[in-house]
Amino acid sequence: MESLMILGRQPELGLAELESLYGADAVQPIGAHAAVVSVDPCLLAFDRLGGSTKFCKLLATLETTTWSDIEKFLLKVSPEHSKDMPEGKMQLGLSLYGFDETINRITATGLSLKKAIRKTGRSVRLIPNKNSELNSAQVIHNHLTGRTGWELVFVRHGNQTVIGQSIKVQDIGAYTRRDRERPNRDAKVGMLPPKLAQIIINLAAGRIPETALKSICDIPAGEPIPLPILNQTVLDPFCGSGVILQEALLMGYKTYGTDIEPRMIEYSQVNTQWLEKHFPVTPDGVGLSVGDARTYTWSIPCNFVASETYLGRPFTSFPSPEVLQQTIKDCQKILHAFLRNIANQIEPGTRLCLAVPAWQIKQNQFQHLPLIDQLTDLGYTRWSFEHTKDDQLIYHRSEQIVARELIVITRN
């Protein structure tokens, strides 16, 4: 069985996440914005995915990208499809990815579909497009994934058009709450987005056994995932205010976080206690200690390591070459010592996903840590993905100087 996943702002990260969890053979990139995943849809735990914005039922693949031909197909099949939907006013929305059609043209197609469906006796409301695609907020607000909702998604893939129907979209309200309403946040040490934290965890976790995925998906939405289902512990040696810890707890993992700053451990403690009160989390799944990642001995064995490491000085304007080189040197020294230290404490084959700094020296041109070329000497092998190149695993925005480069490595 196949599902269509619409990927986020940086689709390469979403592709790598899907490949990590389900394997390269199960993932097929579709255009620049999507992927088809050949996995039982019941095993796609969508709420755990930070890099996919829409989860769609795959409806059809057309051997054309000409919009007039696509429109003819829709006018032919849509009225019959609408008859099979539950009674009530139908909400209709269209989202196009990779097409150059104008908003007016998309609207005209929507109105034509509305007219054709109304001839069957149904009442239809067309959701207006502000852009080629409807965002998650529009889909949620207009109930397009509800019982009478119908968001049709069109993805251009070479000379083909892949069509899907949205089943779920990211819960942006929940992400916002976890990001902005937790009691302790500190902009000075950077604020890791919850979506990116999920991606880091999934890249570190690798393939999850089908039995565990099935157990997770069988749990009703809004109920906590019992920790024994996964029976794995995530270590974050640079836990900061605890974003990775909170997302791992929501995924059903046990967590163990350490940080050199006692204040950060206090922040993580308060934030995880807040999480337990407001989200479906199994209590007592977190361990916290003050510790310098360069020298600390972790007393709890972990299954994998997921962490945003030390990113160095924050910059609001591009630094002088001297300041940049000193910052790189400082980051290099800390992360080199950390990898040396933890190598003796984890089992061979243990997987790590680390967000390390990269500096945007020109638009989409980055200066990397020398550490990345020294991983073999430190006793690690870098994991490369089939559908995403190593240099595409950089989370950034155009105006940012300090970016986060994701490296996935295993202990030799």
Domain holding 303: CATH number? 3.40.50.150
362's torsion region: left (phi>0), alpha (psi -120 to 50) or beta?
Answer: beta
Do 63 and 38 belong together in one domain? yes
Burial of 71 (0-12, 13-18, 19+ CB in 10 A): middle
Do 189 and 310 belong together in one domain? yes
Structural contact between residues 37 and 73, judged by C-beta atoms closer than 8 angstroms: no
- Give the model's confidence band at 85: pLDDT under 50 very low, under 70 low, under 90 confident, else very high: confident
Q: What is the pLDDT of residue 188?
A: 64
Across the chain, what does the average pLDDT equal? 92
Q: Cβ neighbours of residue 100 under 8 Å, at least 6 residues apart?
A: none
Q: At 312, which amino acid appears?
A: G
> Which range (17-31, 62-76, 126-140, 275-289) has the least confidence?
275-289
Q: Which residues pair with 381 in a beta bridge?
A: 410
Structural contact between residues 394 and 363, judged by C-beta atoms closer than 8 angstroms: no
Give the pLDDT confidence of 297-326 residue by residue, as tens digits.
Answer: 998 889 999 999 999 998 888 899 999 999
> CA-to-CA distance for 309 and 366, rounded, in angstroms?
18
**Closest Cα partner for 269 from 306, 308, 242, 236?**
242
Tally of CB atoms within 10 A around 378:
16
Do 368 and 223 belong together in one domain? yes
Query: pTM for this one?
Result: 0.95
Do 135 and 187 belong together in one domain? no
Q: At 73, which amino acid appears?
A: F
pLDDT over threshold 70, residue 229 = no
Residue 305's Cα: distance from chain center in Å?
17
Q: What is the pLDDT of residue 187?
A: 65
Q: What is the pLDDT of residue 105?
A: 97
Domain holding 148: CATH number? 3.30.2130
Give the pLDDT confidence of 182-210 residue by residue, as tens digits.
Answer: 998 776 665 899 999 999 999 999 988 88
Do 226 and 367 belong together in one domain? yes
Beta strands in 238-293 (DSSP E): 254-259, 286-290
Structural contact between residues 353 and 200, judged by C-beta atoms closer than 8 angstroms: yes
pLDDT over threshold 90, residue 280 = no
> CA-to-CA distance for 56 and 163, rounded, in angstroms?
9
Give the pLDDT confidence of 95-112 residue by residue, as tens digits.
Answer: 999 999 999 999 999 999
Residue entry with tokens 């002088």? 320
Structural contact between residues 220 and 241, judged by C-beta atoms closer than 8 angstroms: no
Q: What is the pLDDT of residue 262?
A: 96
Write the DSSP symbol of residue 89.
P
Q: What is the pLDDT of residue 282?
A: 73
Structural contact between residues 93 and 62, judged by C-beta atoms closer than 8 angstroms: no
Q: What is the pLDDT of residue 217?
A: 75
Do 118 and 183 belong together in one domain? no
Q: What is the pLDDT of residue 228?
A: 59
Do 186 and 254 belong together in one domain? yes
Check residues 296 and 277 and name the one with the higher pLDDT.
296
Do 205 and 250 belong together in one domain? yes
Question: What's the number of CA atoms in the CB half-sphere (13 Å) around residue 280?
Answer: 13
Do 262 and 368 belong together in one domain? yes
pLDDT over threshold 80, residue 224 = no
Q: What is the pLDDT of residue 215?
A: 75
- Give the model's confidence band at 45: pLDDT under 50 very low, under 70 low, under 90 confident, else very high: confident
Structural contact between residues 314 and 402, judged by C-beta atoms closer than 8 angstroms: yes
> Which range (12-26, 68-82, 222-236, 395-409) has the least confidence?
222-236
Residue entry with tokens 């999480």? 275
Q: What is the pLDDT of residue 208?
A: 82
> CA-to-CA distance for 91 and 112, rounded, in angstroms?
14
Q: What is the pLDDT of residue 283?
A: 67
State the total domains in the chain.
2
DSSP string, 205-245: H-PPPHHHHHHHHTSPTTSPPPGGGT--EEEETT-TTSHHH
> CA-to-CA distance for 19 and 14, rounded, in angstroms?
9
Do 134 and 240 belong together in one domain? no
The domain boundary, picked from 169, 204, 230, lies at 169
- Give the model's confidence band at 385: pLDDT under 50 very low, under 70 low, under 90 confident, else very high: very high
- Between the alpha carbon of residue 87 and those of residues 79, 83, 84, 197, the distances in Å are 14, 9, 9, 40
Q: What is the pLDDT of residue 227?
A: 62
User: Mean per-residue pLDDT for 15-28?
Assistant: 96
The percentage of the chain sitting over the pLDDT mark of 90, rounded to a whole number, equals 75
The domain boundary, picked from 114, 143, 169, lies at 169
- Between the alpha carbon of residue 105 and those of residues 2, 92, 112, 132, 293, the distances in Å are 30, 16, 11, 10, 56
Do 184 and 152 belong together in one domain? no
Supply φ then ψ for residue 351, to 5 degrees.
Answer: -105, 140
Q: What is the pLDDT of residue 247?
A: 94
Write the DSSP symbol of residue 2.
-
> CA-to-CA distance for 333 and 327, rounded, in angstroms?
10
Do 322 and 182 belong together in one domain? yes
> CA-to-CA distance for 387 and 24, rounded, in angstroms?
7
> Which range (32-36, 181-185, 320-324, 332-336) has the least confidence?
181-185
The domain boundary, picked from 169, 201, 236, lies at 169
Domain that holds residue 381: 172-411
Grouping H, G, I as helix, E, B as strand and the rest as coil, residue 155 is strand
